[in-house]
Chain A
Amino acid sequence: AQSVTQLGSHVSVSEGALVLLRCNYSSSVPPYLFWYVQYPNQGLQLLLKYTSAATLVKGINGFEAEFKKSETSFHLTKPSAHMSDAAEYFCAVSDVRGYIPTFGRGTSLIVHP
């Protein structure tokens, strides 16, 4: 069975500050990992995905995530937050056997001017 834990239901940063959203996963086999973002009144859209090609994955809008097997983590970062980054962020895990990813509970990113 797979699971995802996102630490912190809300993260608040100032505009221009570092964004760090935490995700830890549990999987009995090598995982595929995803970050999705949901803007208000919209569905989720893919930010980035890890498929074992490289441990540091770059996504859209300046976000990146690093896969750390020893820590079973896949934290999402962005060097400088922008007001437009305010949204809900979801981490998800799947494996080679599964078609349906398991989603975390989500982290709401709040960006202050």
Chain B
Amino acid sequence: KAGVTQTPRYLIKTRGQQVTLSCSPISGHRSVSWYQQTPGQGLQFLFEYFSETQRNKGNFPGRFSGRQFSNSRSEMNVSTLELGDSALYLCASSFDSPGANVLTFGAGSRLTVL
């Protein structure tokens, strides 16, 4: 069974540019969530999508946005990149089960902003 696939794995951008990251969840998983991981802040929740709707949102500025398509694939976008946006962006998918919701993570997209 295929896992969670994130593309691209590595990318380098410059300040002010924008970036789009893609996530293909495990077949049958309808929830997709995104996290930002940095050495200083750890794992921070960005947002979660279910049935093409944003269901939960973390505490990030509006420059960070996302969407989910009808096949559950998801994209996140960061506009007007800042140096501090350099991070590993992780996508996770899951069945829709509140509480004991086990997340399956992709390998991440490592973004470097110069």
Chain A positions within 8 Å of B, measured between CB atoms, are 32, 34, 36, 41-46, 49, 51, 90, 94-106
Q: Please tell me if the beta carbons of A103 and B107 are within 8 angstroms of each other in the complex.
A: no
DSSP class of B's interface residues: helix, strand, loop or mixed? strand
Give the contact-size bracket for chain B. Answer: 20 to 34
Please give 19 more A-B residue pairs, beta carbons under 8 A apart, in addition to A41-B107, A94-B98, A96-B99: A32-B100, A42-B107, A43-B105, A43-B106, A44-B105, A46-B104, A51-B99, A51-B100, A98-B98, A98-B99, A99-B50, A99-B55, A99-B97, A100-B33, A100-B101, A101-B101, A101-B103, A105-B42, A106-B43
Q: A43-B107, A45-B105, A94-B99 are in contact. Are A99 and B56 (CB under 8 A)?
A: yes
A-B contacts, CB under 8 A, total: 69
Can you list 12 A-B contacts (CB < 8 A)?
Answer: A44-B90, A44-B103, A45-B105, A46-B102, A94-B98, A94-B99, A96-B99, A97-B99, A99-B55, A99-B98, A103-B35, A104-B42
